[in-house]
Amino acid sequence: MQILIQNGTVVRSTGRRKADVLMRDGKIAQISERIDGPADRVIDAEGCYLFAGFIDTHTHFDLDLGVTVTADNFETGTKAAIVGGTTTVLDFATQDHGMTMHDALDLWHKKAEKSSCNYGFHMAVSEWNDARKAEVDDMFRAGVSSFKMYMVYDAMKVGDGQIYDAQKFIGARGGVIGVHCENYDILQARIAEEKAKGNLGPTGHPVSRPQAVEAEGVARLMRIAELSGYPAWVVHLSTADGLEEVRAARRRGVEVYAETCPQYFTLDVSQYAAKDGAKFVMSPPLREARDRAAILDGMKRRDIDFIGTDHCSFTMAQKALGKDDFSKIPNGGAGVQNRAELVYTYAVQTGAITLEQMALLMSERAARLFGMFPKKGVLKVGSDADLVIFDPNAPHTISWRTNLHNCDNSPYEGMQASGRVRDVILNGELVTENGTLVKPYGGRYVFRNPSERYRK
């Protein structure tokens, strides 16, 4: 199978140029000013940008919270991902109490069988002891080189000493650990305060976990990494204060990687007062204007490394589990389909970042940190033929009604996007054409190498 894309502009982190791209047998075979074929399929990308397939570093498909299960499983979630230009998702396989990492990995492989984009797994661990440590080498052998720990959530929370020990143990093997940074004790106390005041609606959510709750967690993680001597990865960074902690740690020589999500530079805390405020309940919560500006500035200055969505969708009926108590609203929102158009519209179009930085944030750095580079994360000869044709002149309104998410709400409902993903090539095949998924279920497991640790 040979696909030839003509007349597009190839965008890489290092620059852009008008070039044709020929793909053959699942790889990029040639990139040059003019390629005439032959090819089985010729696509005209005049006026469009060509990016390496986007990588979403943070999704939760088919995640069982106990009280309910996410609205999207891999089948629906990856259909939404691929039409949005995400050719690889890194989902959190989750080792709940009573499970081994092997159990979690087997379970996630099963869950992901009907995937329409490529997928890899981070291993989220709910406990850290000799039995779990004994499994780590097998995880690397199975292509899992990144892990996650939580400072919060009763089902997942681990202690600081465990994070410290895990950083050393996993870091020595070339892996990285993402940490959900918030201060558990303080946010629990503040939830109780809001409830005592009778503030039971969604507006209580951001009050219970304000900026300092995240910044304290980030600061603590930075010190843990300073002590362990191994890298830290801050997941879904949302605050100006947290970003300052990351910068301060780097000045001390700590190796830190920072991820943010579109909701933290496109939405704000006022949304909780809306009638459907429950749909914005996610952790960390939406923030204020100064945080949005800081996150965009962090993207511009390359202090923020990559953008995941933290896609964790629930229907309004599921959100209603917390209608009388905001702390019982399932946390998370649907976003996996909208990442590229949001980044383009609200970061590139606004002049906050360049197209080249978009390429860096949407795939290259994730591919490097998570052991997929240069197969993924860059358009160059020999790389995997995962490619996005992005049309910058395609204004439209984002809505859950047109998203492929299995979810009856969107945090981005009614927002304008100025461009969109037009076509997507996955593993050398055209799977999305003119915004429509034409070939589902082409996703493959991505075996990942140890981290490149490019900030070392």
Interface positions with Zn ion (CB under 5 A):
310
330 preceded by a cis bond (ω within 30 of 0): no
- To Zn ion, the closest distance from the beta carbon of 40 in angstroms equals 40
Q: Is the Cβ of residue 284 or residue 322 nearer to Zn ion in the bound state?
A: 284
| Amino acid present at 207 | V
- To Zn ion, the closest distance from the beta carbon of 58 in angstroms equals 6
Mapped onto helix, strand or coil, the DSSP state of residue 376 is: coil
- To Zn ion, the closest distance from the beta carbon of 264 in angstroms equals 13
Q: How far is CA 166 from CA 185, 227, 377, in A?
A: 22, 12, 27
Q: Is the Cβ of residue 194 or residue 310 nearer to Zn ion in the bound state?
A: 310
Q: How far is CA 185 from CA 141, 213, 237, in A?
A: 37, 10, 19
CA distance 72 to 401: 15
Locate tokens 């001597």: which residue? Answer: 229
CB crowding 265-282: b at 16 or more within 10 Å, else e: bbbbbebbeeeebbbbbb
Mapped onto helix, strand or coil, the DSSP state of residue 203 is: coil
- To Zn ion, the closest distance from the beta carbon of 123 in angstroms equals 14
Residue nearest to Zn ion (CB): 310
Q: Is the Cβ of residue 70 or residue 357 nearer to Zn ion in the bound state?
A: 70
Q: Is the Cβ of residue 291 or residue 310 nearer to Zn ion in the bound state?
A: 310
- To Zn ion, the closest distance from the beta carbon of 12 in angstroms equals 29
User: For residue 250, what are the contacts with CB-CB under 8 A and spacing of at least 6?
Assistant: 256, 303, 455
- To Zn ion, the closest distance from the beta carbon of 312 in angstroms equals 6
Q: Is the Cβ of residue 12 or residue 111 nearer to Zn ion in the bound state?
A: 111
Closest CA to 352 of 295, 398, 392, 417: 295
Q: Is the Cβ of residue 318 or residue 427 nearer to Zn ion in the bound state?
A: 318
Q: How far is CA 303 from CA 245, 266, 439, in A?
A: 11, 18, 37
- To Zn ion, the closest distance from the beta carbon of 21 in angstroms equals 34
- To Zn ion, the closest distance from the beta carbon of 254 in angstroms equals 23
Q: Is the Cβ of residue 56 or residue 386 nearer to Zn ion in the bound state?
A: 56
In angstroms, what is the C-alpha Rg of the chain? Answer: 21
Q: Is the Cβ of residue 261 or residue 353 nearer to Zn ion in the bound state?
A: 261
- To Zn ion, the closest distance from the beta carbon of 310 in angstroms equals 4
Task: Write out 141-196 in H/E/C secondary structure.
Answer: HCCCCEEEEECCCCCCECCHHHHHHHHHHHHCCCCEEEEECCCHHHHHHHHHHHHH
- To Zn ion, the closest distance from the beta carbon of 263 in angstroms equals 12
CA distance 42 to 29: 14
CA distance 379 to 388: 10
> How many Cα neighbours within 13 Å face the side chain of 206?
18
- To Zn ion, the closest distance from the beta carbon of 90 in angstroms equals 11
Q: Is the Cβ of residue 177 or residue 379 nearer to Zn ion in the bound state?
A: 177
Q: Is the Cβ of residue 216 or residue 310 nearer to Zn ion in the bound state?
A: 310
Helices and strands counted in the chain (H then E): 15, 19
Q: Is the Cβ of residue 20 or residue 310 nearer to Zn ion in the bound state?
A: 310
CA distance 1 to 99: 42
Answer yes or no: are the C-beta atoms of 266 and 412 closer than 8 Å: yes
